[in-house]
Amino acid sequence: MSDYLFDPTSNKRYYTWNLALRQQFGEKVFKVPIDAGFDCPNRDGTAAFGGCTFCSVSGSGDMMVAPEAPLADQFQKEVSQMHEKWPQVSQYLLYFQNFTNTHAPVSIIRQRFEQVLNEEGVVGISVATRPDCLPDDVVEYLAELNQRYYLWVELGLQTTFDSTSQSINRAHDYQTYLDGVAKLRKHNIRVCTHLINGLPGETKEMMVENVRRTLLDSDIQGIKLHLLHLMTNTRMVRDYVAGRLHFMSQEDYTQVICDQLELIPKDIIIHRLTGDAPRDTIVGPMWSLKKWEVLNGIDQELVRRNSYQGKFQVRK
């Protein structure tokens, strides 16, 4: 493999999630979103009230097919829809996506997860959660799952700057994230960290610094880089109205992503470089709705720079 092309079939200059799954399982794998009915500690008063200011009433499940259906039915409905485009796929990664999927007693977490783990074709699990929701008994259950399945834990960090975390009502600090990663890595559990570009008050330099700090301070195996979407009926709309939030241009976003990719070591999997939001609820930036145009722009900028993931990689 050359320095430039991680996957010659797609001409990608970064280590994509799709490629990683093909390497692991020998073929394309569906990531099937599941809403297991959990809440969030900064919504129910455990840590705070109101949720993160960017979060909608449905958490991160705005694009799900049937979030209120029984878990097995959710799985079947999501798979059926995916098969309309990729009928040949037969292996699935369960994605416990919505809200905080370790925010409950371990007995409840186990009961909900196990409802769908035995569905035909399930080969792995991805659990989206927060770093302040990893008590020892929950981590032990995750360690058990890690022995049974291909497991990822996706930790929402969003920013390494505590001042930003406070302004978006994140209700945990950066050190809590570092402690959470350390607890998971003691059991060799794969960690994917989520960061958001475009949060109120953060400069392009701060966005790049978020990636640099995360790489230097924590042992992660994957990263998700999101674009901030402002959605209706979120508290962050007030920041926009008050002039505290300015949307990134597509050009600025492309430049920041490429700067970030250049820092990320080549063995770290890039799970995502942009994000989705329903057209009827998004306030902006509207260019983000053209997902493939955004991704193609990133590819083109890497070519223009004669660059690729890890060109200036940082390590501990």
Q: What pLDDT digit, counting tens, does each position of 154-172 carry?
A: 999 999 999 999 999 999 9
Rg (CA), the chain: 19
- Which of 148, 59, 65 has its CA nearest to residue 110? 148
Tokens of 174: 């950066």
Q: Quick one: CA torsion of 214, 198, 12, 295, rounded to 10 degrees? A: 160
N- to C-terminal Cα separation, the chain:
24
pLDDT score, position 2: 60
SS3 154: strand
Instruction: Give Cα 308 distance to the centre of its chain.
Output: 21
pLDDT score, position 61: 46
pLDDT digits (tens, 9 = 90+) for 40-58: 999 999 999 988 999 876 5
pLDDT digits (tens, 9 = 90+) for 4-43: 888 877 889 999 999 999 999 999 999 999 999 999 999 9
Strand partners, 282: 231
Strand 230-231, strand 282-284: pairing: antiparallel
Under-50 pLDDT residues of the chain: 1, 59, 61-62
Instruction: Give Cα 316 distance to the centre of its chain.
Output: 22
pLDDT score, position 1: 47
State the Cα–Cα distance between residues 196 and 194, nearest whole angstrom. 7
Tokens of 121: 């074709």
pTM of the model: 0.94
Block residue for tokens 């009915």: 37
| Domain 17-305 superfamily per CATH | Aldolase class I (3.20.20.70)
Q: Which residues contact 150 (CB under 8 A, 6 or more apart)?
A: 24, 25, 93, 123, 124, 125
pLDDT score, position 63: 52
pLDDT score, position 197: 97
Phi and psi (nearest 5°) for 277?
Answer: -150, 145
